Amino acid sequence: MNWKKRHWIWNVLIVITLMICTLAFTAHYKNWIRIKEDHIEILSGIYYRELPFASLDSVKMVERIPSMERLNGFSAWLKEKGVFKDSLNPDNKVYVFVDDLSHPKIKLVHHDSLILFLNFADTTETRKMYELLQARQTGENSGLSQQD
């Protein structure tokens, strides 16, 4: 009888472990983006960044990300996520949220020198995000120049 109780506990523990692993996979599987009035929130697993549109200095499309040293993060197949060290400026951290390394990526420079790379598995979705970020960035800059 005591053996059956332990067996039941192990089954529950296995099911809970599988559920946690499934949730972790779902959280890291793709980039989760939320666009607010004045900022964008990017979530991919344990990596989270909040970027105010006013802090965007440049928005570009690039084919490749430069070679960098990984501080923490992971690479799996064509995905690259995490925090990296910039080889040219080692004091700056580079955040990478790339769902497909073979597709073009959005390079965001914010707060004067911080860099973030972003793309989605779908190139159309990446292009739409690029256009939205570019419009918000130029809208912020044109709004600043009108105030002067």
Q: How does pLDDT run across 60-111, given as a tens digit for each residue?
A: 999 998 888 888 887 778 888 889 988 777 888 899 999 888 999 999 998 8
pLDDT one-digit tens code per residue, 117-146: 999 888 999 999 999 998 887 776 554 433
Residue type, 43: L
Q: Which of 122, 91, 90, 89 is nearest to 104 (CA)?
A: 122
Residue 40, Cβ density class (10 Å: 0-12 exposed, 13-18 middle, ≥19 buried): buried
Distance, CA of 94 to CA of 84 (rounded, Å):
5
pLDDT one-digit tens code per residue, 20-62: 988 877 777 778 889 988 899 988 878 888 989 888 889 999 9
Answer with the residue of higher pLDDT: 6 or 75: 75
CATH 3.40.5 assigned to 31-147? no
Residue type, 145: S
Instruction: Please tell me whether residue 11 adopts helix, strand or coil conformation.
Output: helix
* 65 DSSP assignment: P
* 54 DSSP assignment: G
Domain ranges of the chain: 1-30, 31-147
Instruction: Please tell me whether residue 130 adopts helix, strand or coil conformation.
Output: helix
Distance, CA of 40 to CA of 143 (rounded, Å):
18
pTM over 0.95: no
Answer with the residue of higher pLDDT: 52 or 7: 52
Residue 5, pLDDT score = 56
